[in-house]
Amino acid sequence: MELLDKKNLELEAILDSIKDAVCIVDAEGITKYWNKGAEKLFNIDRKDIVNHHIVEFFPNSLLKKIIKEKKAYEDIYNSPKENCFNITSASPLYLNGNLVGGLSIDRDITDHIKTTELLRKTQSNLQALQQEISVMNKNRSSFSKALGSNKKFREAIKLAKDMACSNINILINGESGTGKELFARAIHLESGREGYFVPINCSAIPNELIESELFGYAPGAFTGALKEGRIGKIELSHRGTLFLDEIGDMPLNMQPKILRVIEDGEIMRVGSEKSLRIDIRVIAATNKNLEKMVEEGSFRKDLYYRLNSVIINIPPLRERKDDIPLLANRFVEDYCMEYGVNILSFSPEVMEAFISHDWEGNVRELNNLIERMVIMAKNNNSNVIDVDLLPDNILTKVSRNTKGRKNPYDLNFAISNVEKTIILKALEATGNNKTKAAKLLNIPRSTLYFKMDKYNIEETSID
């Protein structure tokens, strides 16, 4: 017994020597350990919090979330109580395969936050910490940002990884917003090539400038040229990767010049008579049907066959809807960190809306939408991303798709039926006053309107 006490004292001494706040709770959320760093950071004595539920002191504690989800979180911006700002890491604790509790480590960043122009500039204060996280994650895969478990998407990633270390040219097919440049950058990183990754958007450069942009120019090559000349994008990618995005929009008169670069490995600056040897790897991307363009004569056949040694097809988001929950949750975690809010969750209706939407803008559209919703949730002091934050085009569609479900054995149907009944009673009790009914139901008025539309509740249907 004396030996056991001695070991416990040694462990306590070790934990107390840690400057960061350390907290351990059991599986029920009851605080079991509170080190001196936590006492100092939160100004709460050990005797006052031990054997009490963690939410009594910290309603937004990350420990409650990790015990419920059985999932660890690392380096998350957290505000466990008013005027307290931390970077928190928390993970569940297991013994013999059974969940027995959770552990959190908090790093105080309150002083950093308070020296900025309030919480709106939290992002600038966290940049140093984000760089630390990047260093810790330096061994992550180059394809770590290519999220998804969809079969076709994983096949595209595998093919890209298999081809990365070769010098073979690659053509990436995919709609706008599917992540073609993300794939190209990952292939470059995985290849280990020493030079730069140089992206060129062929549709964004005016026709009269594209040659000088790609090949550069010699001193005095034309009126307005820099007297010292200028290096071109192709030359800049020497020993690296040249990424020709939207290759289908490259002017027809430029295509044979690009073909010669690929075939001969030489370029000549505009206005120069001296050729330069270059070592580049070409990755092209398009959202157009190049085969059809070859048949129509708007794209050179020989260039097409030079570029398509390996073709990687990235499926659009509407064909990999099984990946939407994974993508949505990753994006919301990233933007919560960026904008300095606690991790938000999605209401079931919002996720249903995501699954139902066609996503013509693909992953980029989903990413942009979630950033917008996180900002709106922060401004509304909301802990949940609910339907009232959805744009009208998505809100209308999900409302239309959720009408008319009549399977009495469906649990979702049964729950919806109860929800509809409660809404009707709340409207009746408030004399059909939407504002009062929403307050009685403890939901935003916009959510009430959505649910009334969802369940086809009209004012005339209320007796």
418 compared with 266, residue with greater pLDDT: 266
317 compared with 340, residue with greater pLDDT: 317
The predicted model gives 377-386 an average pLDDT of 87
Name the residue ranges covered by the structural domains of the chain.
Answer: 12-136, 151-313, 321-382, 402-463
The span from the first CA to the last CA of the chain, in angstroms, equals 73
The predicted model gives 14-38 an average pLDDT of 90
Report angle CA 187, 189, 191 to the nearest 5 degrees: 65
Cβ-contact 318, 359 below 8 angstroms: yes
Q: Please tell me the predicted confidence (pLDDT) of residue 62.
A: 85
Cβ-contact 341, 377 below 8 angstroms: yes
Q: Quick one: which of 97, 79, 96 has its CA closest to 88?
A: 79
The predicted model gives 404-415 an average pLDDT of 54
**Token pair listed for 436:** 């009062």
Which of these ranges, 119-123, 251-255, 433-437, has the smallest mean pLDDT? Answer: 119-123
Which of these ranges, 8-12, 187-191, 242-246, has the smallest mean pLDDT? Answer: 8-12
Say yes or no to pLDDT of 217 above 70.
yes
Give the CATH class of 402-463.
mainly alpha
Q: Please tell me the predicted confidence (pLDDT) of residue 125.
A: 41
Please count the CA atoms within 13 angstroms of the CA of 20 that sit on its side-chain side: 14
The predicted model gives 113-129 an average pLDDT of 48
Looking at domain 321-382, its CATH architecture is: Orthogonal Bundle (1.10)
Say yes or no to pLDDT of 138 above 50.
no
Q: Quick one: which of 293, 146, 268, 154 has its CA closest to 216?
A: 268
Distance CA 34, CA 36 (A): 7
pTM (predicted TM-score): 0.60
CA distances from 124 to 112, 135, 413, 443 (A): 10, 18, 46, 34
Distance CA 258, CA 418 (A): 65
Q: Please tell me the predicted confidence (pLDDT) of residue 364.
A: 94
5 compared with 124, residue with greater pLDDT: 5
List the CATH code of the domain at 151-313.
3.40.50.300
Which of these ranges, 8-12, 49-53, 133-137, has the smallest mean pLDDT? Answer: 133-137
Residues in contact with 115: Cβ distance below 8 Å, sequence separation at least 6, in sequence order = 125
Strand partners, 384: 345
Q: Please tell me the predicted confidence (pLDDT) of residue 274.
A: 84
110 compared with 427, residue with greater pLDDT: 427
CATH 3.30.450.20 is right for the domain spanning 12-136: yes
The predicted model gives 71-75 an average pLDDT of 87
Q: Please tell me the predicted confidence (pLDDT) of residue 223.
A: 60
Say yes or no to pLDDT of 133 above 50.
no
**Token pair listed for 254:** 């430029």
pLDDT tier for residue 327 given thresholds of 50, 70 and 90 = very high
Say yes or no to pLDDT of 277 above 50.
yes
Q: Please tell me the predicted confidence (pLDDT) of residue 392.
A: 82
Q: Quick one: which of 191, 195, 213, 193 has its CA closest to 204?
A: 213
Residues in contact with 204: Cβ distance below 8 Å, sequence separation at least 6, in sequence order = 246
The predicted model gives 324-332 an average pLDDT of 91
Say yes or no to pLDDT of 127 above 70.
no
**Token pair listed for 252:** 């027809």
Residue for token digits 């070790």? 14
Share of the chain above pLDDT 70, in %: 83
Q: Please tell me the predicted confidence (pLDDT) of residue 361.
A: 93
334 compared with 219, residue with greater pLDDT: 334
Distance CA 445, CA 427 (A): 12
Please count the CA atoms within 13 angstroms of the CA of 260 that sit on its side-chain side: 12
The pLDDT tens digits of the residues spanning 346-364 come to 888 888 889 888 899 999 9
Average pLDDT, the chain: 83
pLDDT tier for residue 243 given thresholds of 50, 70 and 90 = very high
Distance CA 249, CA 68 (A): 51
Q: Please tell me the predicted confidence (pLDDT) of residue 165.
A: 92
Share of the chain above pLDDT 90, in %: 38
**Token pair listed for 293:** 């363009």
